[in-house]
Copies of this chain bind each other. A is one copy, B any other.
Amino acid sequence: MRKIYLEDTPLREAQEQLVKRVRFSPEVEVIPTPQALGRVTAQPIYANVSMPNYHASAMDGIAVKAEKTYGADEQHPVRLKRGEDYVVVDTGDPIPDGYDAVIMIENIHQIDEETVEILEPAAPWQHIRPIGEDVVVGEVIVPDRYKLRPVDLGALLAGGNVTVPVLRKPRVAIIPTGTELIPPAEHVTEGEIIEFNGTVFAAYLQEWGAEPVYCGIVPDDYGLIKEAVQAAVRNADIVLVNAGSSAGREDFTVHVLEELGEVLTHGVATRPGKPVVVGIVEGKPVIGLPGYPVSAYLNLEWFARLLVHHYYGLTEPQRQRIKATVGRRIVSVMGAEDFIRVTIGYIDGQYIANPLTRSAGVTMSMVRADGLLRIPPGHLGYEQGEIAEVELYRPLEQIHNTIVATGSHDLSMDVLHSLVRKANPRRFLVSSHVGSMGGILAIQKGEAHIAGVHLFDEATGSYNLPFVEKYLRNRDIVLVQLVYRQQGWIVKQGNPLRIGTVRDLARPGITYINRQRGAGTRLLFDYLLKQEGIDREQIYGYSREAVSHLSVAAAVAGGTADVGLGIYSAATAMGLDFIPVAEERYDLLMSGAFYRSSEGQELLECIRSPEFARQVEALGGYSCRDAGRIVYAPRSSSRA
């Protein structure tokens, strides 16, 4: 097993070295101006004609000879004859030869068909747009190396530039490699992975003004990858090889580049994104991108986006940045540049950034991220409450319109999201799953608008309220009932292991999958164990934690666990069986400010709608009786 190690080259250094080594000589193509949106000019563009190319009336009225109007005033009106002293003109009409001013229609008294009277003289050239008022022939309309916007196309045409010389778009070859990859397909069998990174690369490259050239999937074979790179280098300006960029047994990219050209960098000091290969083959840059989606997309931006802009000679546009309060501690390792995907909540006038998973394999974390928080190499991270700069992945308006939900996960929240958007499509609802206790803490710290909670209190035998009274006493918060739901054992179809009560879980050979600490479902399980006097040690798998009902069901479906505690709909979504254990109340906790806001009232209307009950109960295992009931509110908040 051959093993080579990755470097820890600072990102900036790797970028500068690459740019220094690559010289592009873009070809020029002359294209029709109406098709040139977003293209980059190859030279300064001068006006060929003036706009207007004749003296034009700037008003509706009459064209006159100014000197014939001199002396006109209230006492001495001047009369003008049509065809001799004046001509009727509309805005934009050419001024006939011999005329040199326009009088607005409002200032004319019609005497008869042929005669008008005026009470004021006209100054020469008044209300006339002279030749070239807009564009003068010979004038520079746009400079070279300039990205054309809609209005620039208008000015080019106005200046008589029907075609425009632009730089050919850089061709960027995308070579997906991996024996397990298949093209997008409806059915995927075990061991197969749909090749989707290439689609993401192509879409980004289009946005940046490049022309993606998607090469077919190449299996993990040194010779085939080498051939693919050689072919791509001949046809493209930039080559991307996806996966196989690290230092493992089947990571061929670095060796291919060493054989065909030169490796500049293998490994950058970033987390994620470290295993990248940057090389040059026949003068063309070749980037070996990591297979994990998040690492791949970040490196794409760091290197491919840089190269596309370098090709055009343009500055890379920066994403909008905001200052946000860090909602949860973020730890960084000295020496590496960390890139943390974060959600951003706009809560009580503050931006709150919370880290998402740092796993580079989770594409969904890029979908969910509102922004990216960069931690420089010499920095140890952020404590909760510190202010950090975040680069936005979404428009700020969308963040302002987003209801931030946290706490326990429940499928009824997805239904609610749909209904909220149907009622007001500008509104978004974003959920993160931190368990019921996590939800209470998030509301306490002002990190979320709403939190789903289902916490059973052994002492009182009731749900949620005792916890709210304990942790949020005297706080301006409101507790709203959402749904009753069944919790039960999620087991394989047909329940082959005959699981009935919690006692069955302690049987030898039974593997359990638990929920994370702070989850209401875990508290329920602990309560069930305690009732039966069963020790945690007796449950094989007690320490393996899943973060959602669906993850629990996925573990059972995947065969790594025999049973887990969860909700009915998660079991059916995975084609599993469900053995009811208990009905629990799932409530929404929210700040008083949110409850009283228009967003809050919109949300409440959705919760109380018959449509919500219909859709949630159709999932199975739910009852929406009392949905929207105010369980708890300080006197001042009560409105229901």
Contacts and interface: CB of A to CB of B under 8 A. Distances in A.
B143 A421 contact: yes
B194 A160 contact: yes
A157 to B, nearest CB: 4
Interface string A537-562: 00001001000101100110110100
A612 interface: no
Contact of A363 (B51, B196, B570): B51
Contact of A426 (B1, B131, B315): B315
A558 B55 contact: yes
Interface in A1-35: 1, 3, 32-34
A318 B395 contact: yes
B396 A550 contact: no
Interface residue range, chain A: 35 or more
A84 interface: no
Interface stretch (A203-211, A445-453, A629-637): A203-211
A49 B575 CA distance: 12
Given A137-B574, A145-B421, A395-B315, A560 B100 contact: yes
Number of copies: 2
A363 B90 CA distance: 20
A397 B318 contact: yes
A359 interface: yes
A155 B48 CA distance: 49
* A interface secondary structure, majority: loop
Contacts of A429: 143
A184 interface: yes
Contacts of A313: 421, 425-426
Given A248-B90, A249-B90, A417-B140, A53 B190 contact: yes
Contacts of A193: 51-52, 92
B366 A158 contact: no
A141 B550 CA distance: 14
A367 B129 CA distance: 19
A316 B414 CA distance: 25
Nearest to A59: B248
Contacts of A363: 51, 134-135, 151, 154-155, 158
B426 A144 contact: no
Nearest to A555: B130
Interface string A366-385: 11000000000000000000
Contact of A315 (B130, B157, B397): B397
Contacts of A199: 33-34, 150, 153-154, 157
Nearest to A428: B143
A164 to B, nearest CB: 11
Given A421-B143, A426-B315, A414 B200 contact: no
B398 A190 contact: no
B154 A418 contact: no
A374 to B, nearest CB: 17
Contacts of A34: 184, 199, 202-203
A37 to B, nearest CB: 4
A157 B194 contact: yes
A549 B119 CA distance: 36
A407 interface: no
A496 interface: no
A314 interface: yes
* Of listed A124, A134, A162, residue having the most chain B CB within 10 A: A134
Given A153-B200, A186-B162, A134 B362 contact: yes
A54 B202 CA distance: 27
Contact of A133 (B154, B361, B557): B361
Given A150-B204, A573-B137, A291 B143 contact: no
A318 B396 contact: yes
A197 interface: yes
Contacts of A180: 92-93
Given A143-B417, A154-B293, A178-B92, A190 B129 contact: no
A129 B185 CA distance: 22
Nearest to A317: B395
A91 interface: yes
A397 B362 CA distance: 32
A185 to B, nearest CB: 6
B398 A44 contact: no
7 contacts: A37-B207, A52-B193, A55-B558, A130-B558, A132-B550, A136-B548, A150-B204
The 3 A-B pairs at the shortest CB distance, nearest first, are namely A313-B425, A150-B203, A157-B196
Given A54-B191, A145-B421, A315-B426, 14 more contacts: A34-B202, A34-B203, A44-B418, A91-B246, A124-B544, A129-B361, A130-B551, A135-B363, A136-B551, A149-B393, A151-B200, A151-B297, A155-B364, A318-B396
